[in-house]
Amino acid sequence: MLRSSSRTLDANVVLVCSSRDLLLNMLARQSFRLGEFKLSSGGTSDYYIDCRTTTLDAEGARLTGHVFLDLIHSKNWKPRAIGGLTMGADPIVVAVAQLTAQVAHSQAPAGPKASDARASLIHGFLVRKQEKAHGTGQRIEGFRQKGARVVIVDDVCTTGSSTIQAIEAAREFGFVIAGVACLVEREEAGGRPAVEKAAGDAEFVSIFRSPDIRAAHLAQKA
């Protein structure tokens, strides 16, 4: 029985590693551009990464869900929900939440233990850039359970402004930040130290760095 479990675990690890490599190559192919670009931070750059052309792609969304969920499990963050500032975080949030539901349904046992599978679900929430001026006027949309452990996600981190806004809004609402993760870190404009300061005790992890995406992009062109 242990040998069977070991082989299953090894197969899952290979699958996750392959998902990461496939996601890297898709980002390099679909999301990375060389040229002269003005950034939202006000600066300029010789490259631009538009992660949404990958995270909103059907296959890209599947890979994104697998890679982020693997990170969450490897860090043992055990969140009740995942969320971030709209709209860079939106496709990441949906991909992870939907994947956990698929896994729970495929593994759900019959009888009283069915609740154990449901407990593994990671729900989603989105942070508005501003509180809406109508209705309930809330800034957090979706999962709203005060005191719950959550993971903050973003697609690209440059200055870290959008990630920091999400951290601050989540804490103000009453969430406990278990971890912070971005898909691509540009490694410039002081983004990492700014996010780490805002995150406090919560770890900030980047899945890819911009040099990783550039190298894969140039390799594909070659």
Domain residue limits, the chain = 2-221
Please state, in angstroms and rounded to a whole number, the distance separating the CA atoms of residues 202 and 174. 15
Weakest mean pLDDT among 34-38, 100-104, 165-169, 211-215: 34-38
Q: CB neighbours (10 Å) of residue 33?
A: 13
Place of tokens 């290979």: 14
How far apart (Å, rounded) are the C-alpha atoms in residues 197 and 188? Answer: 16
Q: Rounded CA gap, 126 and 170, in Å?
A: 10
CATH number of 2-221: 3.40.50.2020
Backbone angles phi, psi at 96, to 5 degrees: -70, -45
- Alpha-carbon gap, residue 72 to 82, rounded angstroms: 10
Read off the pLDDT of each residue in 162-180 and give the average, rounded to a whole number: 97
Which is nearest to 161 in space by CA: 200, 139, 138, 192?
192
pLDDT at 96 over 60: yes
- Joined together, the tokens standing for residue 22 give 């496939």
Where residue 179 falls among pLDDT bands split at 50, 70, 90?
very high
Q: 75: which 2 tokens? A: 């860090």
Say which range, 43-47, 93-97, 107-111, has the weakest mean pLDDT. Answer: 107-111
Interhelix angle 58-74/2-26, rounded to 10 degrees, is: 130
Give the pLDDT band of residue 199 (cuts 50, 70, 90). very high
Comparison of pLDDT for 109 and 26, the residue scoring more: 26
Percent of the chain with pLDDT over 70: 84
Q: Does the structure show a pLDDT above 70 at 16?
A: no
CA dist., res. 211 & res. 187, Å (int): 9
Contact 208, 216 (CB under 8 A): no
131: left (phi over 0), alpha (psi -120 to 50) or beta: beta
